[in-house]
């Protein structure tokens, strides 16, 4: 079974809650990295998204459908936001 990002995040959150481990706040971590500068944080994340999409396009061009057993990369998330 292949899980989407949202499902795997929910599983990770549920697992952390069950084991009483402190939960990792990704948003706070990114904002700390950019010293609270939300504009810089969003800009860096969008640049990273663009890089990852280019890498995905390269992979798509270089692999056959048989290699991935029919899986084809998608550039949009299941949530429908196309940033």
Domain boundaries, the chain: 24-63
Q: Which residue carries 């989407």 as its tokens? A: 4
For position 3, what pLDDT does the model report? 46
pLDDT of 5 over the 70 cut = no
Poorest-pLDDT segment among 11-15, 26-30, 35-39: 11-15
Average pLDDT, the chain: 76
Q: At what angle do helices 38-62 and 26-33 cross, to 10 degrees?
A: 110
d(CA 62, CA 77): 22
Read off the pLDDT of each residue in 19-24 and give the average, rounded to a whole number: 76
Phi, psi at 34, each rounded to 5°: -100, 20
For position 79, what pLDDT does the model report? 66
């Amino acid at each position: 079974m292949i899980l989407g990002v949202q499902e795997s995040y929910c599983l990770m959150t549920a697992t952390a809650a069950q084991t009483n481990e402190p939960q990792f706040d990704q948003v706070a971590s990114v904002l700390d990295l950019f010293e609270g500068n939300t504009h810089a944080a969003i800009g860096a994340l969008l640049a990273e998204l663009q890089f990852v999409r280019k890498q995905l396009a390269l992979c798509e061009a270089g692999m056959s459908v048989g290699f991935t057993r029919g899986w084809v990369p998608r550039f949009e998330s299941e949530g429908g936001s196309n940033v």
